[in-house]
């Protein structure tokens, strides 16, 4: 392991055997330094370490050593190639999405549909024109987004299950027994309850959306 001492200006000086520093500085004041491996290329790694030893921060030294400069986050780049259609030709899907938004009173001029922010297909609230729109929607919907916009959603209390009303069950049981007079009431009631509470289906029927033929 290479050993260094920290100079008054924040730079490091390597402790070499029998050097002045090695002979004059107590062992306890030596600072062992381990740098992360940012590249398997020896030259690149050495370039990084030399810049770190010269007092540069990790981020800056890594950027220069790898010759990899950070991306520029601007609305112009964010919106690049997001608007559909060339020479006035707009895909049918985009026409449908715009129609959903217009029917909901949402203006789409200068905006594009960001499906990752949609709560359902065609969600009119998912139209964005800049990064500010993305951040606003992420906050309103408690979404986690990364990239041009950073926002962490937070956990919420979903609350307990609300028991289904007995009146709903009994009304459906009555309807089914009226159409199927030979059915056993208890069996019908059990089947209706299982369907309505999702015991037999992850997407239970909503009130009033079943037919009497659903249950024999």
DSSP, collapsed to helix, strand or coil, labels residue 5 as: strand
How do residues 3-23 score in pLDDT, each as one tens digit?
Answer: 666 666 666 666 666 666 666
Give the pLDDT band (50/70/90) at residue 137.
Answer: very high
Is residue 216 predicted with pLDDT exceeding 50? Answer: no
pLDDT at 147: 76
Q: How far apart are CA 208 and CA 204, in angstroms?
A: 12
Residue 27 lies in a domain: yes
Examine the pLDDT at 114 and tell me if it is beyond 70: yes
DSSP secondary structure of 69-136: PPPP--HHHHTTT-S--BTTB--HHHHHHHHHHHHTT---TT-EE-GGG-SSTT-GGGEESSHHHHHH
Residue 86 has a pLDDT of 44
Structural domain boundaries enclosing 208: 166-214
Q: How far apart are CA 177 and CA 144, in angstroms?
A: 49
Residue 197 lies in a domain: yes
Confidence bin at 61 (pLDDT 50/70/90): confident
Kindly state whether residues 16 and 46 are assigned to the same domain. Answer: yes
Pair 82, 117 in one domain: yes
Any domain includes 56? yes
Q: What's the residue count for the chain? A: 216
Together in a domain, 58 and 80: no
99 part of a folded domain: yes
pTM, rounded to two decimals: 0.41
- Is residue 149 in a domain? no
Residue 202 lies inside a defined structural domain of this protein: yes
Do 43 and 91 lie in one domain? The reply is: no
CB 35 within 8 A of CB 1: no
Average pLDDT over all residues of the chain = 76
Q: Are 127 and 108 in contact (CB under 8 A)?
A: yes
Residues 130 and 173 in one domain: no
Domain boundary among 17, 39, 66: 66
- Residue 60 sits at the vertex; the CA angle it makes with 9 and 69, to the nearest 5 degrees, is 160
Q: Is residue 15 part of a domain?
A: yes
Which structure tokens are listed for 202? 């992850």
Confidence at residue 148, expressed as pLDDT on a 0 to 100 scale: 76
Decide if 154 is inside a domain.
no
Are 79 and 132 spatial neighbours (Cβ–Cβ below 8 Å)?
A: no
Residue 161: phi and psi, rounded to 5, are: -70, 140
Select from 47, 66, 85 the last residue of a domain: 66
Task: Kindly tell me if the per-residue pLDDT of 141 is higher than 70.
Answer: yes
Say whether both 80 and 61 belong to one domain: no
- Please tell me the total count of domains within the chain: 3
- 44-60: average pLDDT: 84
pLDDT at 24 over 70: no
């Amino acid at each position: 392991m290479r050993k260094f001492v920290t100079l008054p200006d924040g730079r490091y000086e390597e402790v070499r055997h029998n050097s002045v520093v090695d002979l004059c500085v107590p062992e306890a004041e030596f600072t062992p330094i381990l740098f992360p491996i940012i590249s398997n290329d020896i030259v690149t790694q050495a370039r990084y370490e030399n810049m770190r030893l010269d007092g540069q921060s990790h981020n800056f030294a890594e950027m220069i050593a790898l010759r990899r400069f950070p991306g520029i986050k601007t609305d112009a780049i964010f919106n690049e190639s997001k608007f559909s259609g060339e020479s006035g030709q707009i895909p049918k899907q985009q026409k449908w999405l715009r129609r959903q938004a217009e029917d909901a009173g949402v203006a789409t001029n200068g905006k594009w549909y960001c499906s990752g922010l949609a709560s359902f297909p065609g969600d009119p609230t998912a139209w964005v024109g800049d990064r500010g729109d993305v951040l606003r929607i992420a906050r309103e919907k408690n979404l986690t987004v990364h990239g041009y916009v950073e926002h962490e959603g937070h956990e919420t209390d979903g609350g307990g299950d609300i028991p289904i009303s007995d009146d709903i069950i009994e009304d459906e049981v009555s309807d089914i027994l009226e159409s199927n007079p030979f059915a056993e009431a208890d069996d019908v009631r059990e089947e209706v309850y299982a369907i309505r509470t999702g015991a037999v289906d992850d997407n239970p029927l909503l009130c009033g959306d079943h037919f009497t033929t659903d249950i024999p």
